[in-house]
Amino acid sequence: MTITHHLTDQILLAHAGGALSEAFGLVVAAHLSMCDDCRARLGAFEAVGGAILETCGTVPVDDGGLAATFARIDAADRRTAPAPRRARGPLPGPIADYIGGGLDDVRWKPAGMGVRQAVLCTAEGATARLLHIPAGVAVPDHGHRGLEMTLVLRGAFRDEGMRFGPGDVEIADAATEHTPVAEHGADCICLAATDAPLRFNAFLPRIAQSFLRI
Amino acid sequence: MMMFLASNSAFSDACIRPVAYVFSAPAKIRVQEGLGVVEDAASDDWTRALLRVRDGRDREAFARLFRHFAPRIKAFLRRGGMGDAQAEDCVQDVMATLWHKAHLYDPTRATVATWVFTIARNRRIDMLRRVRPEPEDLPWGPEPEPDQADALALRQEAERLGVAIAQLPDAQRSLIERAFFGDVSHSEIAAETGLPLGTIKSRIRLALERLRQRLS
């Protein structure tokens, strides 16, 4: 897999600091599972966090803090540690966790004109969903008031003259006017996260437009 | 909102360049209000202490880690706005996690301070009842021990990074600190951070490549 569209420094710094909502965090975690370069970049930002931890000063802890911590350790030692989370199939592990399996287990719902969607999580005003876009069809025109991140899982789409294939992530803000169109030949499956609940609107004219272009 | 004013991009290839400023830096960083000094020699000690915890369940080594990191974790959490009692509880939880997950610590990918920071950050997110999805784990391959030279090189890069952060203009450093205290939203973070991260990123990338080779 050759990934050409990566996470931005803004997104990685926000994730390193713990500022991303669950939906955007899911897109980041899925991309990191596919991209060691971004994993290393995140590691570099986390090293900044480590340096800040060393230099942000000290606040005395309770006198009994160490003993209380040993008590916690001894209590928990009797429980078993969780197994490492590894890839179980072709989907990135974090997405498989949400679906509870593979793409065959997704409960798709129609979003119009052959496009299907499945909402995975909504928290803190941001939503992550899977989109299944038939080959050659445009992603429905949709409102997003803020950030939008789209990670390709299968197939590919084209947008603004660029190609986004598996592992690639497109990052757009509210000012971005874009019309991703699934490539011919294969359906495109994406994970998309948006700041506001995604509202599909007026997609009929947009899809008609894309058909005219074809 | 433009948070960070410096113009160098941390990750362009051109930025993997000699960190000459490191060697012209004073041996000890000037201590500013609220700031401690990065303890140059100690970083190696913390790695060894954590390995003693991992391999020997060494309580004395853990106590030394606790005495160093617990007050720093508490300061970190308090700077992020957490109340005293909750921060105290969180510190104990973070340090207990350090004990339980010591076998997952990889000194070629993170210093002990960085690893402690990630545990504290994740615990803070838990306490706010938020969810942070994590990527697939990259556990150890068949070879049990990481390369000592790689671990040393990473610690040196982390020390240089600490010096570079201390030398940032106050306003810029303060904004970056706030991003790590959990005090800003993603929309407040600008594209250019001015942080010299190219070399440490390359170090971690190399460690990941070696890990992938061992796993395959």
**Angle subtended by helix axes B148-166 and B198-215, to nearest 10:** 160
Q: Number of A to B CB contacts under 8 A, please give it.
A: 247
Q: What is the pLDDT of residues B150-201, one digit of tens each?
A: 999 999 999 999 999 999 999 889 889 999 998 777 777 766 778 899 999 9
CA distance A167 to A38: 11
- Could A17 and B161 be called an inter-chain contact, meaning their C-beta atoms sit closer than 8 Å? no
Residue that has been written with the tokens 């008031």 in this structure: A145
CA distance A135 to A113: 12
The pLDDT of residue A46 is above 60: yes
Residue B6's alpha-carbon distances to B157, B187, B195, in angstroms, are 21, 18, 8
Tell me the pLDDT of chain B (216 aa) as tens digits: 334 433 333 333 333 223 222 223 333 333 333 444 444 457 788 999 999 999 899 999 999 999 999 999 999 999 999 999 999 999 999 999 999 999 889 999 999 999 999 999 999 999 988 999 999 888 655 456 778 899 999 999 999 999 999 999 998 898 899 999 987 777 777 667 788 999 999 999 999 998 888 877
Find chain A residues with C-beta within 8 A of B114's C-beta. 43, 46-47, 49-51, 53
Q: How much is the pLDDT for A173?
A: 82
ipTM > 0.90 for the complex? no
The CATH code for residues A1-214 is: 2.60.120.10
pTM: 0.84
Find chain B residues with C-beta within 8 A of A51's C-beta. 38, 113-114, 158, 161-162, 165
